[in-house]
A and B are shown apart, each in its own frame.
Chain A
Amino acid sequence: MAGYIDKIDELVLKIRDRVSKEPMTPAQRAVKVFTWDTSLDHAFGGFAFWDPRSVGITDISTKEFYTDPVKMCYCQIYAAERFEHDFPAVFADMYNIDIEACGTPLEYPEDSIPVIKEHPIKQKGDLAKLRIPDPQKDARMPYLLEVTNLFSQKVGDLFGCSVATNMPFSGVVGLRGYQNVIMDMRKDPLFVHEMLEYMLEVQIVFNKALIDAGGAPVPCDAWAAPPNITPAQWEEFALPYATRLMEALKAHNGQKSNWFLGWGYSIVPDTERFLRMFNASGSGICFLFEEDIVGRAGYSTIDLEKFYEICKQQKVVLSTSLMPQSIFEGPVERIEKLVTDWHKVCGKGGGHCYYTTVPLGSPPEHVEAYVRALKNCRYPVE
């Protein structure tokens, strides 16, 4: 394993050399974004990926990526050195790790993300059989703690150490299965609340351990994003539990967590009300995806300028996020245009950043175009 630690150290030296020639580190850029300070050099942004091959790593299997903490850490740092983006972080299979420790059996294919074999809550009585896992011992919770610890030690001062985790609603979907949860919400909503209370307790314990290991949790909740559930279901089953998780974590480290909800703002009946409720939840950031901005993949469109103004009023950072398909498809000019257009609208008052995912098969020049466009988006915005 010393081999990959040595490789990490070599990459870190290169990154430190590059960053030392820039006006500020990515971590300093991030602080400016989150304090609504526009005196930063260029737009802040980065990307996640779910397979090492997505960023050109061929000597580490997907299975190793999700099971070996040193190799996972290496991959994230490799991508930061190769593509020079601002936001490498600990992006593992966040929807699996806590529920696996709760007793969900997973399968680990060599060339894909771990897969849920079956949902442990098949009937109501199964919930009572589940216990609160120990983050230091159970399943891959220690793996994520180790990645967090290592990443934080190696590059935490340069990039911070964001760690993708799970939110209660998405956790319950993993424990029970999406279609079953949909049926439960109609036929037995109290049971859904019981599962959510359990998941909340699991996640408070786990996220606190990650914070203690040097991480800043980004609890993800794609299952709670419309159209996966209705706005009314979101208000009843997702929002209150997400809020409580973020409150508990803030009480632990004094900082806001960043709730990754992501989609659906353009298709809810009252976008402004939905956004204001989201922003009041205590999240430090609001992720808004290209689907909702330009109306792709069955979504409508939002008024980006108005959306940004609401985020600014509520002091919640807006992350405009390219669809993975855009990184896959290109062309370079479109990627650059999206980044530049959003900077013109949202860059004026600060509190704006970028995010995307690099899917398998994406040409590296598309990723390079994305990062280049970020660096070409300068402050102040003309």
Chain B
Amino acid sequence: MSEQLIQTLKENLVNGNIDEVSSNVKELVEKGVEGKKILDEMIAAMDIVGEKFSKNEYFLPDLILSGNAMRAGLDVILPNLKASGASFRGKVILGSVRGDVHDVGKSIVQSTLIGAGYEVFDLGVDVAPDVFAQKAIELEVDVVGASAYMTTTTAMLPKVNEALKEAGIRDKVKFVIGGAATSSAYIEWAGADGWGETAWDAVNTINNLLNK
């Protein structure tokens, strides 16, 4: 019975049916299915979404709907996971830089990182450089991720690096960048440690930087 429900959950995730995913996860938790098992199945479903996107069968709206559905499901199982003492691979904060209100790519990276086992804190959009540093200290994170969607806002990326230095934590955290306006050539310019072209690439970059 649970296997059939898990299959339904995965289909709903792939199709971006947010309310249904939330309801499916609640039902599975009530049936006593372990949070870790549910999470693994949801990650498997998100892999299908990612594969469809990489084959150009899915577009950003599909990713957003599935990503939102993933988050709705995670909202249900995260307390369950934390209570069971599940450990995370690392702590990451993400934010769109000052002047940039684009949220989509960052949200996809957030969902993908959570799916990959990271504890992720979303600082939102239009985040000032010093806020990245303050939150990194407060939350004791391993990775600071900054996103710039527009060519005009890439100027803020080196400022985030400067803020981390001024706060005295630059050698304690990895600084990664991403966003549509960036490329690998921006790593050195921004003083970053890594860059992710896609959400899945971001996970690999962070895994490599943390030796996970």
Which secondary structure dominates where chain A touches chain B?
loop
Which of B24-32, B55-63, B110-118, B161-169 is the interface stretch?
A: B55-63
Most buried by A among B59, B99, B185: B59
Interface residue count for A (Cβ, 8 Å)? 36
Interface residue count for B (Cβ, 8 Å)? 35
Question: How far apart are the CA atoms of A229 and B62 in the complex, in Å?
Answer: 9
Interchain pairs with CB closer than 8 A, number: 93
Q: B12 contacts the other chain (Cβ, under 8 Å)?
A: no
Question: How far apart are the CA atoms of A332 and B80 in the complex, in Å?
Answer: 55
Question: How far apart are the CA atoms of A233 and B58 in the complex, in Å?
Answer: 12
Contacts A115-B126, A179-B103, A325-B185; A229 near B60 (Cβ below 8 A): yes
Asked whether B98 lies within 8 Å of A109 as measured between CB atoms, the reply is yes
Residue-by-residue, is B127-152 near A (CB-CB < 8 Å gives 1, otherwise 0)?
00000000000000000000000111
Asked whether A298 lies within 8 Å of B126 as measured between CB atoms, the reply is no
Residue-by-residue, is A101-118 near B (CB-CB < 8 Å gives 1, otherwise 0)?
000000001011101100
With a cutoff of 8 Å between Cβ atoms, the chain B residues found around residue A50 in the complex are 150-152
Within 8 A of B (CB), among A252-275: 267-269
Which secondary structure dominates where chain B touches chain A?
loop
Asked whether B59 lies within 8 Å of A116 as measured between CB atoms, the reply is no
Within 8 A of B (CB), among A161-198: 178-179, 182-183, 185-186
Q: A207 contacts the other chain (Cβ, under 8 Å)?
A: no
With a cutoff of 8 Å between Cβ atoms, the chain A residues found around residue B48 in the complex are none
Within 8 A of A (CB), among B156-212: 156, 180-183, 185-186, 189, 197-198
With a cutoff of 8 Å between Cβ atoms, the chain A residues found around residue B76 in the complex are none
Residue-by-residue, is A292-323 near B (CB-CB < 8 Å gives 1, otherwise 0)?
00000110100000000000000000000000
Asked whether A227 lies within 8 Å of B60 as measured between CB atoms, the reply is yes
Asked whether B64 lies within 8 Å of A179 as measured between CB atoms, the reply is yes
Q: A328 contacts the other chain (Cβ, under 8 Å)?
A: yes
Partner of B62, one of A62, A230, A297: A230
Asked whether B64 lies within 8 Å of A182 as measured between CB atoms, the reply is yes
Q: B81 contacts the other chain (Cβ, under 8 Å)?
A: no
Q: List 11 A-B contacts (CB under 8 A).
A: A51-B155, A112-B152, A113-B150, A113-B153, A115-B126, A178-B102, A178-B103, A228-B61, A298-B198, A360-B151, A360-B154
Residues of B within 8 A of A (CB): 16, 53, 56, 59-62, 64-65, 68, 98-104, 107, 126, 150-156, 180-183, 185-186, 189, 197-198
